[in-house]
Amino acid sequence: MEEFDAIVVGAGPAGCAAAYVMAKAGHNVLVLERGKFPGAKNMWGGAFFGPVMNELFPGFWEEAPFERFVTRHAISFLTEQDILSIDYKSDVTEPAEKKGFITLRAKFDKWMSQKVEQAGAIVASGLAVDDLIVEGGVVKGVKVGDEQFASNAVVLADGVNSLLSEKIGLRKAYSPHDMKQGVKEIIRLPREVIEDRFNISGTAGVAMEFIGSCTRGLPGGGFMYTNLDSVSLGVVVQLSALMDTQIKASDLIEDFKNHPAIAQLIKGGQTAEYSAHLIPVSGLKMMPKLYDNGVLVTGDAASLVLGTGLILEGANFAVASGMAAAETVIEAHRKEDFTRDELSNYEKRLREQFVLKDLQTFSRAPQFLENERIYQLYPELACSMARKIFSSDGKPRENTFKVLRKSLGKQASMWKMASDMIKAGRAL
Amino acid sequence: MKVEDKLALNKFDVDRDVHITVNDVVCVECELKPCVSVCPAECYVIRENHMTFSYEGCLECGSCRIACPKGAIDWVYPRGGFGICYQYG
């Protein structure tokens, strides 16, 4: 049986980060990826912030395939006929690494895996790990069909469904309340059309989030990102809400595309790809055991996703957790100790840096974000107030407070709304 | 645009081995059948009160596995290299 210093399952951002750091430190690393190539199974909304990636690959934007920098960020409330947006654009020149990067995963993950190979690791694609080799409660390697590969250190970066961490008892089965389903289309449009419609040029790009009618009031939201010559457009919805209402995400994305404000932006575009993925959204509540004898869990497999309202941030957490797992394995090799006591340093590392600190800070967010008023009542309220304020029926005007009170009607009291705002302040 | 037309745009390398199997005996007793609404690829279709399932257009998201209240779905990933192959992602 071939033996490695470390085996990494999955060549996404978490797995590549772990493998890269370990290979750089001189370790003999095997990465197993079930896709035909790294990135073939991966999708996301569209963008990540630069600093963590820059720590892993300094100056990465010079060579990494990315579509555009995020220079404009818009958040919009939607009803079936209206849109009310907060549109943020800044001319403050930030250093490149601090910017947001819009990328396509099939290209970006492939590039990351090439960096891993250049650092000396073996990246084997088209190989799905079926099981872990466990002897006396200690993980000793992996099984791929009839083949076995041995290692004292196995890093699980096998994504949101992580069948392997469930198999060895590091986590229980997931509940539909802990998951959001994202569906997305890549819609191709000529580059100049995108730049005209979104008012951007060069490497500038736009990130947009939507809340309200795009999910028919179900917990979740819509998103749109400008790529170089396409847009990524999709919706993200709580899985349990899809079950309860029997609404399909595939219908929601069609409605979203047909919303007057969206239809205008994608007019004439051709769909090139349709994708779907789950997102673990319950934070610390659903986090599995992060380590055991001979094994560490990273990225989506460890449910390391931060939801702070409209934005779900996972890629940075994946990369940071992969790096922390790698440092833990490197130290374990130095001490020749792969017991769970030694590997518990992985969780300590995550607690010292932003990964578990952020999840702790926003630990009340997942529960707060289940409040249906956020997705139904408040977007309608915001739009109907805007409609009243920006139109005139020729009669004397009422003050804003009265408009708000009338718009609220019987749907919720002012007290309820004030209490939601206080809760939002605490949770977000 | 219909889901089947969207799936036709995707690149799949369909394996002969089926990676998802539905236990008919258990499935038939389920009244809710949430798999039908949660599958973004419409792999689960009820025809004449009977669940029919096709794995070819599966996007491997795992929603059905988590949503099935009866544990009737035996779900693993396709063999390495097979299944959905995103070109954009």
Average pLDDT over residues A255-263: 97
Residue A69: how many other CB atoms lie within 10 Å: 20
Tell me if A273 and B7 make a contact (CB, 8 A cut-off): no
Please check the confidence at residue A405 and state whether its pLDDT lies above 90.
no
Q: How far is A415 from A408, CA to CA, in rounded Å?
A: 11
Please check the confidence at residue A395 and state whether its pLDDT lies above 90.
no
Confidence of residue A136 (pLDDT cuts 50, 70, 90): very high
CA distance A129 to chain B (A): 8
Task: Give the ranges where A259-373 is alpha helix by DSSP (H).
Answer: 260-266, 315-335, 340-343, 345-352, 354-361, 365-368
**pLDDT for A407:** 78
Q: At what angle do helices A377-389 and A400-408 cross, to 10 degrees?
A: 140
DSSP A399-419: PHHHHHHHHHTTT--HHHHHH
Please check the confidence at residue A98 and state whether its pLDDT lies above 90.
no
**Tens digit of pLDDT for each residue in A45-55?**
999 999 999 99
Q: How far is A175 from A109, CA to CA, in rounded Å?
A: 28
**% chain A with pLDDT above 90:** 82
Average pLDDT over residues A271-280: 98
Tell me if A36 and B60 make a contact (CB, 8 A cut-off): no
Among candidate residues A273, A172, A269, A180, the one with its CA nearest the CA of residue A222 = A180
- B85–chain A Cβ distance below 8 A for any pair: yes
Average pLDDT over residues A66-91: 93
Q: Which residue among A105, A247, A273 places its CB closest to the CB of B10?
A: A273
Average pLDDT over residues A252-278: 98
| pTM for this entry | 0.95
Give chain B's mean pLDDT: 94
Task: Give the ranges where A175-314 is alpha helix by DSSP (H).
Answer: 191-197, 239-245, 249-258, 260-266
**pLDDT for A399:** 81
Tell me if B60 and A41 make a contact (CB, 8 A cut-off): yes
Please check the confidence at residue B4 and state whether its pLDDT lies above 80.
yes
Please count the residue pairs, one from chain A and one from chain B, whose beta carbons lie less than 8 angstroms apart.
135
Please check the confidence at residue A91 and state whether its pLDDT lies above 90.
no
Tell me if A276 and B59 make a contact (CB, 8 A cut-off): yes
Confidence of residue A220 (pLDDT cuts 50, 70, 90): very high
**Tens digit of pLDDT for each residue in A307-318?**
887 678 999 999
**Tens digit of pLDDT for each residue in A349-370?**
999 999 999 999 999 998 888 8
* Neighboring chain B residues of A273 at a CB cutoff of 8 Å: 9-10, 86-88
* ipTM score of complex: 0.98
Are B24 and B62 contacting, i.e. CB atoms less than 8 angstroms apart? no
Give chain A's mean pLDDT: 94
Q: Which residue among B7, B67, B84 places its CB closest to the CB of A41?
A: B84
DSSP A46-62: SEEEHHHHHHHSTTGGG
